[in-house]
Amino acid sequence: MKRAEARSVVADALVAARTLARHLKPGKKPRAELALLVGLLEQMADDKQAELTTQEAADMLNVSRPYFVRLLEEGKIPCRKVGARRRVRAADVLTYKRIDDARRREALKELTSEAERLGLGY
């Protein structure tokens, strides 16, 4: 990424983080996804490589932590160890999510086509 593009991404992340943060109610616990997104955007604005815990990443994918750890152990998402803990790059989780979403959409199209072919009325 060129330096000017990187500055633009950082600036956009900062604006997005501030905009979302304004919608968080003081004293009220925000939805986990929103709080996580604000944190990621703040890290991007600081121009750091955003890393997540396994629980944060599992929440991002809306799966259980044990299931997410299995994805890591199977090598489907890269991670690194910090002591006994795993850390996952947010970009890697988002890449996995994008690929998994595309796979699911394709499977849904196939099921829909099969149902139409069989005249199931879907």
Domain boundary residue, one of 47, 64, 84: 47
pLDDT confidence of residue 44 = 67
Domain boundary residue, one of 47, 65, 82: 47
- pLDDT at residue 12 above 50? yes
pLDDT confidence of residue 2 = 46
Specify whether 20 is located in the same domain as 40.
yes
Domain count, the chain: 2
Specify whether 59 is located in the same domain as 9.
no
Specify whether 63 is located in the same domain as 118.
yes
Specify whether 111 is located in the same domain as 62.
yes
Confirm if 29 and 2 have CB atoms less than 8 A apart. Answer: no
Q: Which domain holds residue 108?
A: 49-122
N-term to C-term CA, the chain: 45
pLDDT in tens, 43-71: 766 655 678 889 988 988 889 999 999 99
Specify whether 71 is located in the same domain as 116.
yes
